Amino acid sequence: MRGRPLLRTSYEADQAIFPTVTQKVVVTVFLLFLVAIPFFAPGTVGSEGALPGPNFLASSDWLRLLITLGIFSIGALGINVLTGLAGQVSLGHAFFMALGAYTAAVLGAAPGALWGMGLPMWIWLPAAGIVPALVGILVAPTAVRVRGLYLAIVTLGLVFIGEYLWRNLDFITGGSQSGRSFPSFEFRWWKEEAPVFSLGEPSTWFGFLNVSGNAKIYLFVLALTAILALVAKNIQRTRTGRAFMSIRDRDVAAEVMGVDEFKTKTIAFAISSFYAGIAGALLASFIGRTIPEQWNLPLSVEFIAIVLIGGVGTVTGTLLGAAFVVLLPRLVEDFTHFLEGVLAEGGILATIVDPIISTGGDFGLINTSAGVAPGLGIDQFNLVIYGLLIIGFLIFEPLGLYGIWLRIRNYWKGWPFTY
């Protein structure tokens, strides 16, 4: 049987998360690489040393980006369960994220002018998932009554009503002017003065590993993302997960086969909102201070975009999509700076680059001093690219990045034959 990767002799083998040895090895190596990232920076191993590797990843702005990526992955895994597996289009993800964030704030933040109970993290983090899940269960009956595009707009209404609530519940959210601060990543048993350990502070592990605060938060978020991704993958393989997919593919047929539509949709909403709440709480805690207007429609759209760009209904695709959407602005920015460099050097390349980028008053598609000359600022350019990517993926590759990966894999599987 060895060496015939597509031959499965048991149901277990067919359902395995990593069916081949190669996949297990690749995933393990990749996870080890992810764990090693913070230690690429000089001075992290011993007093001078570092692990060999791409050390720009360990710089503090990249580390922040990777933390955001982890948090967005968690949120996207949630929307993937609801929209990707169960087929219920929801634009209300931002609402549930806000709910999670403010639950965390009320339970975890120190008491002061705004509500806060100062409870430890092991209470506020799970609660940040459970409260949105309960609210999700309340919303779910609407999804049974209202279908398809109507549901999309109902959940859109949820975001607007939520935004209004957050603006006006200023004893919880701090209002639009100042926002509020969120509990930081500190671990306490109960309400002690000094935390048992604090993820935000730098420390030394095993006597020779110097880890910065961001590095510790990164490792924490990475672990959480990995666990939640595994859970999401396993949900897909259970009876409930198959019920989700049957509802997505044909709800009438699913009901005929004995799938309880009401129950299934309720579970889907609960799971999705749980993930959203956790992601919201982590995001708010990581940023530290947010205003109510941050939890708006574009945030919801971003999650739908992640799922669509990555590949609907797949965990791998969702993670790929999150990486793509979160890292894209940074890549565009770096690319712009690269072009600026080319322009400054002059020569024939600069002539080609000139119509694309403008640093002063002349015309350029991207304008680094926005507002002065015609052309889009970097932020606007990013938005346009992002919009075009959503369109492009849906038109040309409905399976998303995951579909592209499948095609590459299948090509090499049969190489040198074309089929």
Partner 1 sequence: MTPHLVVLAQATGASSLGRMLVDFLSLGSIYALLAMGFVIIFKATQVLNFAHGALAALGAFLVASLVSVLQVPARWMPTAPRWLTWVLAVLIALVVAALIGMALERAFIRPMVGEALFAVAIVTLGVDIVVRTITNDFIGQQSRPLGDPFGTRVLAVGDFALVPWTVIAQVTTTVGLVLLVALFFRSRLGIAMRATAFDQEAARAQGINVGRVFSIAWAIGALLAAVAGIFLSLFPRRAAGVDQSTAFFAFAAFPAIILGGLDSVVGAVVGGFAVGLAQAFATEYLTGISFLGSGFPGIVPYILMLAVLLVRPYGLFGSEEIRRV
Sign (positive or negative) of CA dihedral 210, 212, 213, 216? negative
Read out DSSP for 55-97? GGGGSHHHHHHHHHHHHHHHHHHHHIIIIIIS----S-HHHHH
Beta bridge partners of 78: none
Q: Which helix (H) or strand (E) holds 262?
A: helix 261-287
Question: Is position 407 an interface residue for partner 1 (rule: CB under 8 A)?
Answer: no
Rounded to a whole number of angstroms, the distance between the first and last alpha carbons of the chain is: 22
Instruction: For the segment 175-204, give every residue that binds partner 1 (CB under 8 A).
Output: 176
Question: Is position 410 an interface residue for partner 1 (rule: CB under 8 A)?
Answer: no
Using CB under 8 A as the criterion, what x/- string covers residues 316-355 for binding partner 1?
----------------------------------------
Taking the complex as a whole, the smallest distance from the CB of residue 157 to partner 1 amounts, in Å, to 4
Beta bridge partners of 197: 187
Question: Is position 148 an interface residue for partner 1 (rule: CB under 8 A)?
Answer: yes
- Residues with Cβ within 8 Å of 239's Cβ and at least 6 positions away in sequence, in order, are none
Please give the Cα distance from 372 to 368 (Å, whole number): 9
Chosen residue from 15, 351, 380, 410 binding partner 1 by CB under 8 A: 380
Give the residue among 167, 104, 107, 103 at the shortest CA–CA distance from 135: 103
Chosen residue from 5, 42, 288, 387 binding partner 1 by CB under 8 A: 387
Piece of the chain touching partner 1 by CB under 8 A; list 69-77, 129-137, 161-169, 326-334: 161-169
Chosen residue from 383, 399, 404, 406 binding partner 1 by CB under 8 A: 383
* Cβ atoms 118, 130 nearer than 8 A: no
Piece of the chain touching partner 1 by CB under 8 A; list 55-63, 145-153, 237-245, 341-349: 145-153
Instruction: For the segment 15-74, give every residue that binds partner 1 (CB under 8 A).
Output: none
Chosen residue from 186, 201, 255, 354 binding partner 1 by CB under 8 A: 255
Quickly tell me which residue has 């069916």 as its tokens. Answer: 19
Taking the complex as a whole, the smallest distance from the CB of residue 137 to partner 1 amounts, in Å, to 16
Taking the complex as a whole, the smallest distance from the CB of residue 263 to partner 1 amounts, in Å, to 15
Q: Which is nearer to partner 1, 21 or 388 (CB)?
A: 388
Taking the complex as a whole, the smallest distance from the CB of residue 308 to partner 1 amounts, in Å, to 6
Beta bridge partners of 205: 209
Q: Name the maximum alpha-carbon separation found in the chain.
A: 70
Chosen residue from 193, 395, 414, 417 binding partner 1 by CB under 8 A: 395
Rounded to the nearest 10°, the torsion over CA 125, 129, 135, 136 is: 170
Question: Is position 155 an interface residue for partner 1 (rule: CB under 8 A)?
Answer: no
Question: Is position 291 an interface residue for partner 1 (rule: CB under 8 A)?
Answer: no
CA distances from 232 to 75, 89, 418 (A): 11, 18, 34
Taking the complex as a whole, the smallest distance from the CB of residue 141 to partner 1 amounts, in Å, to 9
Question: Is position 167 an interface residue for partner 1 (rule: CB under 8 A)?
Answer: yes
Q: Which is nearer to partner 1, 62 or 251 (CB)?
A: 251
Please give the Cα distance from 270 to 292 (Å, whole number): 23
Using CB under 8 A as the criterion, what x/- string covers residues 75-114 for binding partner 1?
--------------x-------------------------
Structure tokens at 70: 């982890």
Chosen residue from 376, 399, 404, 406 binding partner 1 by CB under 8 A: 376
Helix then strand then coil, in percent of the chain rounded to 5, is: 65, 5, 25
Can you give the binding site for partner 1, defined by CB under 8 A? 89, 142, 145-150, 152-154, 156-157, 160-161, 163-164, 167-168, 176, 251-252, 255-256, 293, 296-298, 301, 304-305, 308, 371, 376-377, 380, 383-384, 386-391, 394-395, 398
